[in-house]
Amino acid sequence: MIPATKASFTEAAPAHFRLLSALSYCAPLLVNGVALPFFPIWLAMHDFSDREIGIILAVPMVVRVLVAPVVAMYADRMKERADVLVFSGGLSLLTAIALYWTDTFWPVLIVYTIQGATFSPYVPVVESIVISGVRRWGFDYGSMRVWGSIAFIASTLVGGRLIGNWGGQMVLPVMIFGFLMTMVMAVYCPRIGPTRRRGTPVDLQQATGSSLRQPHLLVLLIGVAIQQSSHALLYVFATIYWRDLGFSGTEIAVLWSAGVAAEVTVFFQSKRICRYFDAWTLIRVGAAICVCRWLLFPMQWGFVGFFLLQCLHAFSYAFVHTGVQRRIIASVQAAQESSAQGAYFFYNGMFMGLMTIASGYIYALLGLASYYVMALTAVLGLGLIIVAYYLQPQSADSGGKTSEPA
């Protein structure tokens, strides 16, 4: 997924790096596998309106994208980035427990916002540690990242069965279990020392340009963030919509798992896919299919139809994410790995948060026609991605084609 070769220095990789990195991805996605599809059910169980649900889910997104880049930059300067995970997981666990004593709008909003802030650095820091392993020792990114998606599927299926049997009150216990696992993996996450500074010998094609200030990278990250924000309506209201159609908790869990399973397939096949398609092609194809996904979603497809639509997540998310990670590693110096992931997380989270707030109002006004607004949002993101492609540094000696690696 992310190109790397064997490092030129003799330092050995930490023992069990692949296994511990994979488990470090699993822990936070155990939480997300329940919170993303089913926390709206917990909110609806407490009689929150569509607008209130949108606000409660969106405000933490906005707050966490302000916190995550700051913590990520601090992590770049720490002796051990993984130490951040201990504080992130522990504080998030406390907020999940606190939700037991909140059931009205303002208390839930405040506690869930604090959780968004404390949990925000977890995945970007894990991502930066894994990418350091890719750079230094030539590990395959996809073979580690994929297990997080598998954990998401398992968590969603188990959560769906529990919620189908006992209702929305099971959401918090499963989330708390997930946060406990983040604490465990914060202790066992690989310790690999600080990020490499400029001049450290690494046998990997060096990033070009000047860090995160390159115009094409900035436009690309914003374009992708806008395209990804078109998923907001799905994340907030799909579970409620499917429940209203009469789907059981298990069927809803299967629908969510179908999208992640399709994503897993892309990660498993990432090496083969990347041999045939460069990063820009993956991003553009994924964004274009995203537009089609939202145009089709409002139609009454039944369970099988929605299952197939969910499989398009392989393109609308996994293709795009794969391509962006390859562009980041090709454009950003190794010393700014956490900062780059923090910036990617910032733009994604900021636009997703704003669109989530808007989705509550749009859905209340337009109903299922709101997905056509999401399609227009994806079109805007695709347009910026195309602009970013043409803003790349060009080489006159290569016939006008980019001289950067894919």
Secondary structure, 3-state, 217-273: HHHHHHHHHHHHHCCHHHHHHHHHHHHHCCCCHHHHHHHHHHHHHHHHHHHHCHHHH
> Residue 206's domain spans which residues?
17-398
pLDDT of 398 reads: 36
pLDDT of 362 reads: 94
pLDDT of 335 reads: 65
Residue 232 lies in a domain: yes
Q: How far is CA 124 from CA 100, 154, 247, 337, 338, in A?
A: 28, 22, 34, 9, 7
CATH number of the domain within which 111 lies: 1.20.1250.20
Percent of the chain with pLDDT over 70: 88
pLDDT in tens, 350-386: 899 899 999 999 999 999 999 999 999 999 999 999 9
Q: Is 198 exposed, middle or buried (0-12, 13-18, 19+ CB in 10 A)?
A: exposed
Describe the crossing of helices 83-98 and 50-76 by its angle, rounded to 10 degrees: 160
Residue 7 lies in a domain: no
Residue 164 lies in a domain: yes
The total domain count for the chain is: 1
Q: Max CA-CA distance within the chain?
A: 66
Compute the distance between CA of residue 253 and CA of residue 37 in angstroms, rounded to an integer.
8
Secondary structure letter of residue 319 according to DSSP = I
* CB within 8 Å of 374: residues ≥ 6 apart: 230, 231, 232, 233, 234, 294
Residue 320 lies in a domain: yes
CB distance 1 to 145 below 8 Å: yes
pLDDT in tens, 124-181: 889 888 888 887 888 887 788 888 888 999 999 999 989 888 888 999 999 999 999 9
Please give the full DSSP string across 363-385, using - where no structure is assigned.
HHHHGGGHHHHHHHHHHHHHHHH
Radius of gyration of the chain (CA): 20
Residue 53 lies in a domain: yes
Residue 2 lies in a domain: no
pLDDT of 33 reads: 92
Residue 4 lies in a domain: no
- Note down pLDDT in tens along the chain; length 406 residues: 454 444 444 578 888 999 999 999 999 999 999 998 999 999 989 999 989 999 999 999 888 878 877 887 787 788 888 899 999 999 999 999 999 999 899 999 999 999 999 998 898 889 888 888 887 888 887 788 888 888 999 999 999 989 888 888 999 999 999 999 999 999 999 988 776 544 333 333 444 444 566 788 889 999 999 999 999 999 999 998 898 888 988 899 999 999 989 988 887 788 889 889 999 999 999 999 999 999 999 988 899 999 999 999 999 999 999 999 888 878 777 666 667 776 887 788 889 989 999 999 999 999 999 999 999 999 999 999 999 999 987 643 334 444 444 5
Residue 1 lies in a domain: no
Q: How far is CA 116 from CA 34, 121, 140, in A?
A: 15, 9, 30
